[in-house]
C-alpha cells in the first residue's frame, strides 16, 4: 500500500531543500505520495524570513558571532543550554493543522528545527503519526536530537551509532540523497572540458549557495599559483562573483545548472561546509579537500568527513597544495579516495524503504 509523507525542509541555503526534493522524487518513483513544506513558513509572519536573513548575514559577515551561537545552541555538552524549543513551539499549530488536512502516514523532518518541532509534538502525544528525521549533516549537533521522534536516518553507520547513543532511538544509515545524475556518466562533461581547456587540471572551490566563507580570492590565487585552474562556485552571491572575476587566472561562476558535468571535468573540490556539494562530489567521483571551513557545523563537518576517510582536511596553505597534488594526479591515492566516496552510496537499504516501513506502522 502506498504511503503518504509530509516532508519538512527549510530554505536555509540550498542543501536541505535539495535533499528534500530528492527524497520526494524517490518516494513518488516508488509509488508513494509526498508533500514538501518549508518549516519557516509554519512560523508566524515575518519570523521565518527574519531567521533566514539573520543566519545568512551571520555566516557571511560575522563568522565569530555565528561560531558563538553554534557553541551556545548547537554544540553537544552537559549542563543547562539554550535551545530552539520556543521557536519550534511557534510552528506547532500550523503543523498540526497540515497533518489534520493532509493525513500523512509519517512526517519527515529534513532540518533540525523541524526535528525539534515533531519531537515535541510526538513526545506529548499531540502528533498522531510517526516522525522519521533525515539528518543531512556529518556533524549531528544537539538541535537535531529530540527523544520524541521515532527514527533517525543518517549519512553513515558511524553517525547512526552516535545518534543512537545520544538519544536512544532507532537510527539507521541510509547514505546521502543525491540525484542520480551525479552517480552516472555526465553528458555535459565534454562541454565543460572544452570551455575550461585541458592544459592544466581544474580545481573547484565551493562557496555554497550563499557564497559564504572567507578569503576566497586568496585561496583561488593559491590554487592558480600551484598550477591549477581555479573555478570558484559563488552560488547566488553575485557580489562575490563580480569581485572574484577581477582576479587573474580565476573563473568565478554564479549558480551552475550542470554541476555533474562541471564536476566530471574537474579533478578536486575544495569545500568549506561538508554539505550537499561535498556529497555530490563524492557521488561523482571527485575527491574533496576541506579548507577554511565556515564556523560551527562547517568546522565540525569538515573534521568528521576527514575522520570518516571521505575527504582531506587541509589546515594551512601548504597542506592544501599537497592535497591537490596528491588527489588530482592519477594513481592509487586518488583511486582510494574516489572508491571511499562511492562506497558511501551503497550497502544500505536507503531512505525510502526505511520510511515506508515507518509509515506502515501508522496504517
Average pLDDT of the residues of the chain: 92
3-state secondary structure at position 312? strand
pLDDT tens for 37-92 read 999 999 999 999 999 998 888 888 888 888 888 877 776 655 444 455 688 899 99
Q: Kindly give, in sequence order, each residue whose CB lies less than 8 Å from that of residue 78, ignoring residues fewer than 6 positions away.
A: none
Residue 305 reports pLDDT greater than 80: yes
71: cell is 557553541
pLDDT attached to residue 361: 82
Question: How much is the average pLDDT of 16-31?
Answer: 96
275 contacts 15 by C-beta, under 8 angstroms:
yes
Over residues 171-199, the pLDDT tens digits come to 999 999 999 999 989 999 999 999 999 88
List, for residues 91-131, the tens digit of each pLDDT value: 999 999 999 999 999 999 999 999 999 999 999 999 999 99
C-alpha 116/C-alpha 137 separation (Å) is 16
The structural domains of the chain, ordered by start, are 4-175+348-362 (3.40.50), 180-343 (3.40.50.2000)
In 3D space, the residue among 283, 290, 276 whose CA is nearest the CA of residue 134 turns out to be 276
Confidence of residue 293 (pLDDT cuts 50, 70, 90): very high
User: pLDDT of 257-278, one tens digit each?
Assistant: 999 999 999 999 999 999 999 9
Q: What confidence tier does 343 reach under pLDDT thresholds 50, 70, 90?
A: very high
**What pLDDT is attached to residue 77?**
59
Q: How far apart are CA 139 and CA 302, in angstroms?
A: 9
Contact 274, 138 (CB under 8 A): yes
Tell me what pLDDT residue 121 has. 97
Phi and psi of 111, rounded to 5°? -155, 145
Q: What is the pLDDT of residues 189-243, one digit of tens each?
A: 999 999 999 889 999 999 998 888 889 999 999 999 999 999 999 999 999 999 9
Give the pLDDT of residue 80.
Answer: 45
- In this prediction, residue 135 carries a pLDDT of 96
pLDDT of 363 strictly over 90: no
Report how far apart the first and last C-alpha atoms of the chain are (Å, whole number).
Answer: 9
User: Please, how many CA atoms are within 13 Å of residue 34, restricted to the half-sphere of its CB?
Assistant: 24
> Would you state the cell numbers that stand for residue 329, as one nine-digit string?
594526479
> Does residue 306 register a pLDDT over 90?
yes
Contact 134, 109 (CB under 8 A): yes
**Bridge partners, residue 252, by sequence:** 232
Amino acid at each position: 500500500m502506498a504511503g503518504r509523507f509530509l516532508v519538512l525542509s527549510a530554505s536555509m541555503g540550498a542543501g536541505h531543500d535539495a535533499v528534500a526534493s530528492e527524497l520526494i522524487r524517490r518516494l513518488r518513483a516508488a509509488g508513494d505520495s509526498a508533500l514538501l513544506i518549508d518549516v519557516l513558513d509554519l512560523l508566524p509572519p515575518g519570523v521565518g524570513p527574519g531567521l533566514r536573513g539573520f543566519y545568512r548575514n551571520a555566516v557571511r559577515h560575522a563568522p565569530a558571532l555565528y561560531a558563538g551561537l553554534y557553541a551556545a545552541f548547537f554544540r553537544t555538552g552537559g549542563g543547562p543550554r539554550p535551545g530552539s524549543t520556543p521557536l519550534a513551539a511557534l510552528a506547532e499549530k500550523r503543523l498540526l493543522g497540515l497533518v489534520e488536512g493532509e493525513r500523512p502516514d509519517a512526517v519527515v523532518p529534513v532540518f533540525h528545527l523541524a526535528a525539534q518541532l515533531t519531537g515535541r509534538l510526538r513526545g506529548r502525544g499531540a502528533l498522531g503519526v510517526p516522525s522519521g528525521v533525515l539528518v543531512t549533516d556529518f556533524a549531528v549537533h544537539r538541535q537535531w536530537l529530540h527523544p520524541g521522534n521515532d527514527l533517525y536516518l543518517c549519512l553513515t553507520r558511524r553517525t547512526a551509532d552516535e545518534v543512537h547513543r545520544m538519544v536512544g532511538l532507532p537510527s539507521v544509515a541510509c547514505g546521502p540523497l543525491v540525484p542520480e545524475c551525479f552517480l552516472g556518466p555526465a553528458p555535459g562533461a565534454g562541454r565543460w572540458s572544452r570551455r575550461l581547456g585541458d592544459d592544466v587540471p581544474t580545481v573547484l572551490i565551493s562557496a555554497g549557495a550563499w557564497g559564504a566563507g572567507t578569503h576566497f580570492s586568496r585561496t583561488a590565487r593559491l590554487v592558480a599559483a600551484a598550477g591549477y585552474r581555479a573555478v570558484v562556485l559563488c552560488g547566488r552571491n553575485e557580489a562575490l562573483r563580480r569581485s572574484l572575476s577581477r582576479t587573474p587566472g580565476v573563473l568565478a561562476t554564479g549558480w551552475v545548472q550542470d554541476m555533474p558535468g562541471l564536476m566530471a571535468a574537474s579533478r578536486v573540490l575544495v569545500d568549506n561546509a561538508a554539505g550537499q556539494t561535498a556529497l555530490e562530489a563524492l557521488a561523482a567521483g571527485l575527491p574533496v579537500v576541506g579548507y577554511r571551513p565556515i564556523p560551527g557545523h562547517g568546522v565540525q563537518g569538515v573534521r568528521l568527513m576527514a575522520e570518516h576517510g571521505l575527504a582531506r582536511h587541509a589546515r594551512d596553505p601548504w597542506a592544501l597544495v599537497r592535497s591537490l597534488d596528491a588527489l588530482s594526479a592519477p594513481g592509487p591515492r586518488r583511486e582510494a579516495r574516489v572508491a571511499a566516496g562511492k562506497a558511501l552510496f551503497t550497502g544500505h537499504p536507503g531512505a525510502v524503504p526505511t520510511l515506508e516501513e515507518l509509515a506502515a506502522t501508522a496504517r
